[in-house]
Chains A and B, each alone.
Chain A
Amino acid sequence: MSRLDTMRVSAQIAVRNLGAHRLKTFIVGGIIFFGAFLVVLGNSLVESIDNSMSRSVIGSVAGNIQVYNATSKDQLAVMGGMTMGDPDLAQIDDFAKLRATLLKVPHVKSVVPMGISGALVTSGNTIDIALERLRGIVRKELDAGTPKDEATQRQLASQLAAQKDHVRQIITVLQGDMKNMKAIVQEQAVNKEDVEVIQKSASDAFWADFDKDPYGALEYLENHLAPLAVDADLLFIRYVGTDLGSFSRSFDRMKIVDGTTVPVGKRGFLFSKFIYEDQLKLKSARRLDKIKEAKDLRGETIAKSEELQRFVRENTQQVREVLLQLDALKTATFRAKLQKELAVPADPKAELGALLAQFFATDDANFQGRYDFFYRELAPDLELYRVRIGDVLTIKAFTKSGYVQSVNVPVYGTFQFEGLEKSALAGALNLMDLVSFRELYGFMSDEKLAEIKTLRASAHAKEVSRENAEAELFGAGSDEPSPAAPSAGASGEVGAKPVKAPPRHIVANATPGVNPEMPEISSPLAAKLRREEARSRVFPPDEVERGVVLNAAVLLDDPKYMRATMPAIVKQGEKDGLKLKAISWQESAGLIGNFINLARGVLMVAIIIIFTVALVIINNALVMATLERVREIGTLRAIGAQKRFILSMLVVEAVVIGLLFGGLGAAAGALLVKIIGAVGIAAKSDVQFFFFSGPRLRPFLNPAAVVAAFVIVIFVATISSFYPAWLAMRVTPRQAMQEEE
């Protein structure tokens, strides 16, 4: 008999035996079915999540590959690493050169310069807006040019009174803040001037004299009081400094939501829409949004969800933020509107706070109505966001060496990534122009460092005159705009500084860049100048291109070349004299990138353990099935079957079961994947939005999983049939025939 014939016969016998030994078939087949099912389903799910997550990571900020200086102490982590704060990266001095190098590498489509950092933002516009409005009314009233009838006059007077009340209300709050501070802060740390300013602004005498010299009084409030309030509202944000044009071209999921993009060459800031909503929106409105989202998206109810109940409770308790925005006129309008909506008797003396609390005490039945009412009737009269599009942000950051640097940048708009609107992870980073980023990070080009050295030498005793620094920064017609002002390096304080103040000398400290005695000076004129500068100055593209960056995102024309491109980048860097390190998006995403590897590892270990135990159980079932067939086997041997035939018969039998049930199991798994793929798994939390790269995960069948399932199943079936087959092989015809019933 040829080998082929043997196979044919043993296959025939195997298929027949499947029916003959139903119990064994059922048990062995069942386990194999389940195993194959699990392999296909688990693998497809993990691969699908991997795939969609990679789209999220690559499409939002990481790009396919991240390149940074190989001499850096830490690994780059664009989405936050294990340590808090920023990783310590060495700088890349010249981005233009880096780009030229990277573009030489095959498959590199585009290169985006980057630097990631975080900073404190002072954003408190309540008093600014209030003072601006007050100034507007005063101007109208004092405007002698246009004739006014009596009615207009009266209206203006009442507006003025209302606005004055509003400002005084804010001052009362500041007074309370000052009292609070004394409860925790050492006495000598409280600035006496601040206390005096607040006392004076709050005094009745000040307001009695207001009309005598309204402009003078306004100036006093704007210059001395407003800065105290600004410091009150601090917000920590993370941002990427980048070439915004090239960023939006390369990451094409990015879309501007509000406002416009930053014009080429200008300073500018774009808020992530998620942050803008989550942190800058009026808290009451944000909580309404959150409740609505939970109800619409996740089907939660206020009655059942503890979290939503907390939102409602906070909304009813915290109405002060809304109240503070309202002057007397608006307060009256709100009162009337709310009394109508809440169907309570119109009472012009009713306290608005209580009405608002009553309005915000929503339940599942009235929520939708109140939500609509809020946005239709109340929101137009409120400043919904702490920072408006067009405002100038003052960003204070710790530079790399620990001193504080501040920069003014105008906010041009908000952006989001398509499909990732709800994800906190994708929306965690805001965007900023590179020039401002470099200043905040405290970069100094070599020539600037040399300049500082010369300055220090000329000023003797390691001193830098602030006059010189000033000239460097604001020098008229300075044809060499620098990414980092020299004074930043020497003193660590570029922010507000008095232009007309007598020259101040700043001692360079023993610890580079740290000056513990640094006084905080604020002069409105300098601040104004800087704000003007922030808006109007246009930086030549060359400066943006040729300056320092921390890292660069590399986008490839085809992601499958990622592994090959990474060493190519390093090699090309060496050739061009750059020490580069290239890491994949998984690595640059840090923990999140590791997650999928962890999931894959866990799945693999689980499958190995499951199949090991399955192997033992299948083996046991086969052994017993074989022992039952000793007589049959003996008979076969007696009629001339060779040992090898018996062996192959039994192994083939197991493999046939494996193939049949493994196939069925894989098919069932594939079917389930298809069904889930058609329906989609809805993302419920913001993390899931990121992992699913959109509102729904649509798993796809991974062909490799099906192949893997078959390989594993056949392997297990073969291995587990060897021992029983070996037992059967040893059965002699005589032994079998003698076997007692």
Chain B
Amino acid sequence: MSRFAIDLEIAFRNLLQHTRRTLFLGGAIAAVTMLLILLQGLSTGVRETMIESATTLSSGHVNVGGFFKVTEGQAAPVVTDYQKVVDLVKREVPETAFVVHRGRGWAKVVSDTASEQLGVGGIDIKNEPAFKSVLKIVSGNIDDLAQPGTALIFDNQAEKLGVKVGDALTYSAPTTRGTNNTVDVRVVAIAKGMGLLSMWNSFVPIETLRALYQLRPDATGVVQIMLKPGEIDHVNPIAARLRSTLERAGYRVMDPVPQAFWMKFQSVSREDWTGQKLDVTTWEDEISFITWVLDALRWLTRVLITILMCIVGIGIMNTMWIAIRERTREIGTLRAIGMQRGSVLWMFLLESLMLGLFGTIVGAVAGALIGTSIDRAHLPVAQGLQFILMSDHLHLAVHAPNVVVAIVFITCVTGAAALYPSRRASRLEPVVAMSHFG
């Protein structure tokens, strides 16, 4: 048997000998690991929900949007001659999976009984495969959105407006001339809500949106770029590259500001240029008003885990002190029969590491199981929390890499906590140690 195996066996036996102590400490470590994994699962889950609803409803992974200013004081979210931009993107961004374009608008939507301010997405349903597959249609047929004068709304809006599939709605919005224009549409599909973003979004065929704003047929709102899988983590460099590509192609490009396009109206309409400017944003920019939730969750996870690890660390140190006192004579004997200081240190350290490893594995397994079952259970969340979690049910995403990181991290912390007591143990003089009582 190799040295390491013997060391492992000794550590394991020592742990077994002190069942109670091991169970308590291991339990605490397992609890903290579980908490870490659940909190991480929540962060990741919220992030995934955010990406999904953002990229379905209001953004691509990278967007080329922008503003057209007819006069200095007025900005319209319009990209003129969009086909050129689409061609350029297809040519210059090899990471692109596919490109779609959508119209952007903001209108008063009026039914027979009620009215509501809603965002209007002008969509070309035939060329939006992802959109069709992600939305859950409650009633109606999403493909009817190909016909002009139709609309897709979400269940919460349908309820508020008091309409069902087949009913008429009127969209009313100010055009670029400050006058108002209206368009009558028929509801052809009602989709299940997707959290916050779907509360104020509705969709009409892009031709209908153009009719509402009296826009030319070569105008759209935004060119949305969906990236190939795996490229989603590189949106920022891709956006930066695209920005300079567009500039080289002769476009005026706005400075990057991490905000959703509708938050930029105020600043853009106060700038003194007219004409077209393009704005390259990422999905994170477009939902920046909600990503604070992620930051807050991460911050909370960090603070909580730090405090808990301190407490657990103190517990481990305490246990080690007592264990060393109990085993002082044993240490003395081992040293007397030739064990090196390093080996003594290693012995104690290994014990703690092993405890940490067992604890974290148990905690990780429990955390992963609980996390997955919560996710499966589709637990509904309260209205107030829906706003924050961007979904009407709790979504926890527990991924293997995160679990491994949690295990390694917490095991290392337990090892670190044991370092000082172990060093003390290894410094004991054999003679003193052997004559120790108590």
Residues in A lying within 8 Å of B, measured CB to CB: 23-24, 27, 30-31, 34, 38, 73-74, 82-86, 88, 120, 122, 124, 173-174, 176-177, 180-181, 183-186, 189, 191, 231-235, 279, 283, 310, 314, 318-321, 398, 400-404, 511-514, 516, 518, 520, 591, 594, 598, 602, 606, 609-610, 612-614, 616-617, 619-621, 623-625, 628, 741
A623 touches B170 (CB 8 A): no
Q: In angstroms, how far is the closest chain B Cβ from the Cβ of A38? A: 8
B437 touches A741 (CB 8 A): yes
Q: How far is the CA of A29 from the CA of B147 in the complex (A)?
A: 73
Stretch at the interface among B23-31, B235-243, B422-430: B23-31
Picked from B118, B170, B175, B272, the residue with its CB within 8 Å of the CB of A514 is B170
Q: How far is the CA of A51 from the CA of B364 in the complex (A)?
A: 41
Stretch at the interface among B46-54, B68-76, B86-94: B68-76
- Does B114 sit within 8 A of A, measured CB to CB? yes
A591 touches B387 (CB 8 A): yes
In the assembled complex, 19 residue pairs joining A and B whose CB atoms fall closer than 8 Å, in A order, are: A24-B318, A34-B310, A82-B387, A124-B73, A177-B72, A180-B68, A185-B214, A186-B215, A231-B177, A234-B73, A402-B110, A511-B170, A514-B170, A606-B303, A613-B311, A614-B311, A619-B24, A624-B318, A741-B437
A180 touches B315 (CB 8 A): no
Interface string of B7-40 (1 = CB under 8 A from A): 0000000000000110011011001100100000
B215 touches A321 (CB 8 A): no
Picked from B168, B308, B318, B384, the residue with its CB within 8 Å of the CB of A610 is B308
Interface centre among B32, B80, B117 (most CB of A within 10 A): B117
B28 touches A616 (CB 8 A): yes
Closest A-chain residue to B217, C-beta based? A186
Which residues in B have their C-beta under 8 angstroms from that of A625? 322
A184 touches B274 (CB 8 A): no
Which residues in B have their C-beta under 8 angstroms from that of A181? 70, 176-177
Interface string of B380-405 (1 = CB under 8 A from A): 00001001100000000000000000
Which residues in B have their C-beta under 8 angstroms from that of A120? 174, 178
Picked from B73, B274, B318, B388, the residue with its CB within 8 Å of the CB of A27 is B318
Closest A-chain residue to B110, C-beta based? A402
Which residues in B have their C-beta under 8 angstroms from that of A594? 384
B319 touches A620 (CB 8 A): yes
Q: How far is the CA of A617 from the CA of B316 in the complex (A)?
A: 8
Closest B-chain residue to A520, C-beta based? B179
Which residues in B have their C-beta under 8 angstroms from that of A82? 196, 199, 387
Picked from B68, B114, B117, the residue with its CB within 8 Å of the CB of A73 is B114
Q: How far is the CA of A338 from the CA of B87 in the complex (A)?
A: 48
- Does B229 sit within 8 A of A, measured CB to CB? no
Q: In angstroms, how far is the closest chain A Cβ from the Cβ of B139? A: 21
Which residues in A have their C-beta under 8 angstroms from that of B384? 594, 598
B307 touches A516 (CB 8 A): no
Q: How far is the CA of A673 from the CA of B231 in the complex (A)?
A: 48
Which residues in A have their C-beta under 8 angstroms from that of B318? 23-24, 27, 617, 620-621, 624
Q: In angstroms, how far is the closest chain B Cβ from the Cβ of A506? A: 15
A606 touches B304 (CB 8 A): yes
Closest B-chain residue to A181, C-beta based? B70
Which residues in B have their C-beta under 8 angstroms from that of A602? 300
Which residues in A have their C-beta under 8 angstroms from that of B303? 606
Closest A-chain residue to B116, C-beta based? A85
Closest A-chain residue to B326, C-beta based? A628
A177 touches B110 (CB 8 A): no
- Does B200 sit within 8 A of A, measured CB to CB? yes
Which residues in B have their C-beta under 8 angstroms from that of A30? 314
B175 touches A620 (CB 8 A): no
B438 touches A318 (CB 8 A): no
- Does B234 sit within 8 A of A, measured CB to CB? no
- Does B172 sit within 8 A of A, measured CB to CB? yes
Q: How far is the CA of A177 from the CA of B183 in the complex (A)?
A: 26
B387 touches A73 (CB 8 A): no
Interface centre among B183, B308, B310 (most CB of A within 10 A): B308
Q: In angstroms, how far is the closest chain A Cβ from the Cβ of B275? A: 6
Q: How far is the CA of A507 from the CA of B38 in the complex (A)?
A: 62
Q: How far is the CA of A233 from the CA of B311 in the complex (A)?
A: 61
Sample of 13 more A-B contacts, CB < 8 Å, known A184-B80, A189-B175, A516-B170:
A30-B314, A85-B118, A183-B80, A184-B216, A232-B73, A234-B73, A234-B178, A283-B270, A401-B110, A403-B172, A518-B180, A606-B303, A624-B318
Closest B-chain residue to A183, C-beta based? B80
Which residues in A have their C-beta under 8 angstroms from that of B176? 181, 184-185
Closest A-chain residue to B157, C-beta based? A83
Closest B-chain residue to A614, C-beta based? B311
B28 touches A617 (CB 8 A): yes
Q: How far is the CA of A284 from the CA of B99 in the complex (A)?
A: 39
Q: How far is the CA of A324 from the CA of B340 in the complex (A)?
A: 87
Which residues in B have their C-beta under 8 angstroms from that of A598? 384, 388
Total B residues in contact with A, Cβ cutoff 8 Å: 82
A183 touches B276 (CB 8 A): yes
Which residues in B have their C-beta under 8 angstroms from that of A27? 314-315, 317-318
A23 touches B321 (CB 8 A): yes
B25 touches A620 (CB 8 A): yes
- Does B115 sit within 8 A of A, measured CB to CB? yes
Q: How far is the CA of A358 from the CA of B32 in the complex (A)?
A: 59
B182 touches A623 (CB 8 A): no
Q: How far is the CA of A695 from the CA of B18 in the complex (A)?
A: 57
Which residues in A have their C-beta under 8 angstroms from that of B68? 180, 183-184
B70 touches A180 (CB 8 A): yes
A310 touches B219 (CB 8 A): no
B117 touches A609 (CB 8 A): no
Q: How far is the CA of A613 from the CA of B312 in the complex (A)?
A: 8
B271 touches A314 (CB 8 A): yes
Which residues in B have their C-beta under 8 angstroms from that of A191? 177
Picked from A173, A174, A400, A624, the residue with its CB within 8 Å of the CB of B319 is A624
Which residues in A have their C-beta under 8 angstroms from that of B181? 516
Q: In angstroms, how far is the closest chain A Cβ from the Cβ of B273? A: 8
Interface centre among A120, A594, A624 (most CB of B within 10 A): A624
B272 touches A741 (CB 8 A): no
Q: Given A185-B214, A318-B272, are A88 and B116 also a contact pair (CB < 8 Å)?
A: yes
Picked from A88, A398, A404, A516, the residue with its CB within 8 Å of the CB of B184 is A516
A623 touches B314 (CB 8 A): no
Closest B-chain residue to A619, C-beta based? B24
Which residues in B have their C-beta under 8 angstroms from that of A401? 110, 115
Interface residues of B in 99-128 (CB under 8 A from A): 108-110, 112, 114-119
Closest A-chain residue to B383, C-beta based? A82
Q: Given A82-B387, A184-B76, A232-B71, are A610 and B307 also a contact pair (CB < 8 Å)?
A: yes
Which residues in B have their C-beta under 8 angstroms from that of A283? 270-272
Which residues in B have their C-beta under 8 angstroms from that of A24? 318
Q: How far is the CA of A386 from the CA of B274 in the complex (A)?
A: 19
Which residues in A have their C-beta under 8 angstroms from that of B141? none
Which residues in A have their C-beta under 8 angstroms from that of B219? 184
Q: In angstroms, how far is the closest chain B Cβ from the Cβ of A499? A: 21
Q: How far is the CA of A231 from the CA of B312 in the complex (A)?
A: 66
Closest B-chain residue to A628, C-beta based? B322
B315 touches A617 (CB 8 A): yes
Which residues in B have their C-beta under 8 angstroms from that of A186? 210, 214-216
Closest B-chain residue to A492, C-beta based? B180
Picked from A606, A619, A621, A624, the residue with its CB within 8 Å of the CB of B300 is A606
- Does B160 sit within 8 A of A, measured CB to CB? yes
Interface residues of B in 135-152 (CB under 8 A from A): none
Q: How far is the CA of A683 from the CA of B199 in the complex (A)?
A: 33
Which residues in B have their C-beta under 8 angstroms from that of A74? 160
Q: How far is the CA of A38 from the CA of B68 in the complex (A)?
A: 53
Which residues in B have their C-beta under 8 angstroms from that of A85? 108, 116-118, 200
Which residues in A have their C-beta under 8 angstroms from that of B387? 82, 591
Interface residues of B in 161-189 (CB under 8 A from A): 168, 170, 172, 174-184
Q: How far is the CA of A621 from the CA of B269 in the complex (A)?
A: 65
Q: In angstroms, how far is the closest chain B Cβ from the Cβ of A313? A: 8
Which residues in A have their C-beta under 8 angstroms from that of B274? 176-177, 180
Interface string of B275-297 (1 = CB under 8 A from A): 11000000000000000000000
